Amino acid sequence: MAETSGNGSAGSPGQEAVRKRRQRFRIFGIAVLTCAVGGGIYWLLTKNREATDDAFLEADIVQIAPQVGGVIAALNFTDNQRADRGQLLIAIDPRDYEVQLASANANLDIALALQQAAEADLSLTKATTVASIDEIHNLVEQTRHQVSEARQQADAAQADAVRTAADVKRYDDLLQGAVASRQRYEQAVADARAGTARWRAAQLAATAVEAQQAQAQARLQDALAAPQRVAQKEAQLANAKAQVEQARANLQAAANNLSYARIKAPQSGRMTKRTVNLGDVVQKNQVLAALVVDPPWVIANFKETQLTRMRPGQPVSISVDAFPGHAFRGHVDSIQAGTGARFSLLPPENATGNYVKVVQRIPVKIVFDDLADDMLHLLAPGMSVVPAVDVGAPPAAPKP
């Protein structure tokens, strides 16, 4: 009995050790199987998922600056206030620009009046100088013949006057010798006086015809110079038209300056970085505020090894650190044509010195899908996000 008891007591510890060893093996096997199953499930869930925490929100930011200077007369926004497109943000005192507009309008009226005067002057010049040169040539030739004829008549009258004067002298001698009668002598004196008068009249007629000839010559010279005068008047009219166009341009510039006194929101968004107050005197191109334009987007800097299957249009789940309980949806918009380092201020020069390969990052633009207005007003540029791209999904067709 004692021996049997001894053997049983000796075998019991060994069996217990075997049992514990088998139990440990079973636990280890279950743990390995659990890890394998868990790893397989994780791999199945993440094999088509590319994520990065090197991602931030971006948005277009418009610098609000006036195109004219002046005193701020109205300020219709506060810090971080939402503004709709076309909303009046700032009004500059417009009185100086209203005066400039009135002056430019008056200058345009003056230029138009000068243009009308130049047009009338050109029409008058054409009407008074477009006479036929051939007609005037004929007139000049006609007056030349008239002058020749008048000179011949004057010469004939002169010869007749000389003859009658000689008759008077001859009849005077005959009267002294009692050969001729006094009546014949007196008749000779009368004929001499008449001949002298005819001579003077012929000379006056010849002078008058010569004056007509000079007038005809002047008209001919005037007609020959008509094209030059017309060209001069046309040049004056062109100058007047140019002054009208310049006055119109000045009027448009004055109207633009007056409109620039009212600064409106170019796009919808939120106002921030206000640096102006009511009554401030501002200068042209002075930055007064910034407008963060809706909607924002995500710039995610993925490793180049993550872009193998990434394509524009693939869906993206986005987690914003500021709103951890909210899930955002989006899609890949585009992939930058170059790494971030390549477009940095001092891009690396790998051809110099020792080279150590570093995995590069490439910015990827991700846009939101159907972003709600309440969240749109809360998202701001610079917020940290974690996007996860489903690289196994086919790219979605772009929305029209």
Mapped onto helix, strand or coil, the DSSP state of residue 394 is coil
The pLDDT value given to residue 397: 65
The pLDDT value given to residue 231: 82
The pLDDT value given to residue 219: 67
For residues 173 and 246, the answer to whether their CB atoms sit within 8 Å is: no
For residues 247 and 107, the answer to whether their CB atoms sit within 8 Å is: yes
Three-state SS annotation for 51-81: ECCCEEEECCEEEECCCCCEEEEEECCCCCC
- Rounded Cα–Cα distance for residues 81 and 86 (Å): 15
- Rounded Cα–Cα distance for residues 263 and 89 (Å): 6
Which residues, other chains included, contact 317 with Cβ-Cβ below 8 Å and sequence gap of 6+? 327, 328, 329, 330, 387, 388, 390
CATH architecture of the domain formed by 50-59+294-390: Beta Barrel (2.40)
Q: Which fold has domain 61-94+260-290?
A: OB fold (Dihydrolipoamide Acetyltransferase, E2P) (2.40.50)
The pLDDT value given to residue 131: 53
- Cα 244 off chain centre by: 21
The pLDDT value given to residue 1: 39
- Pick from 285, 283, 281: nearest CA to 64: 285
For residues 289 and 77, the answer to whether their CB atoms sit within 8 Å is: yes
- Rounded Cα–Cα distance for residues 68 and 251 (Å): 16
Radius of gyration over every alpha carbon of the chain, rounded to an integer in angstroms: 57
The pLDDT value given to residue 306: 93
Helices and strands, counts by H and E, the chain = 6, 15
Provide the token pair at 19.
């049992």
Residue 296 has what DSSP assignment? P
CATH architecture of the domain formed by 102-244: Orthogonal Bundle (1.10)
For residues 165 and 127, the answer to whether their CB atoms sit within 8 Å is: no
Q: Which amino acid, 259?
A: S
| pTM higher than 0.85 | no
Provide the token pair at 75.
């300020």
Which residues, other chains included, contact 115 with Cβ-Cβ below 8 Å and sequence gap of 6+? 237, 240, 241, 243, 244
Peptide bond into 295 cis (omega under 30): yes
The 10s digit of each residue's pLDDT in 353-396 is 788 888 999 999 999 998 888 888 889 999 999 999 999 888 87
Q: How far is CA 4 from CA 1, 7, 8, 12, 18, in A?
A: 5, 5, 6, 12, 22
Task: Give the CA dihedral 321, 326, 332, 337, nearest 10 degrees.
Answer: -10
In DSSP terms, 55 is beta-bridged to: 300
Question: In the chain, which stretches have pLDDT less than 50?
Answer: 1-10
Provide the token pair at 31.
């743990």
The pLDDT value given to residue 211: 79
The 10s digit of each residue's pLDDT in 167-192 is 667 666 666 766 656 676 667 677 77
Q: Indicate the domain borders of the chain.
A: 50-59+294-390, 61-94+260-290, 102-244
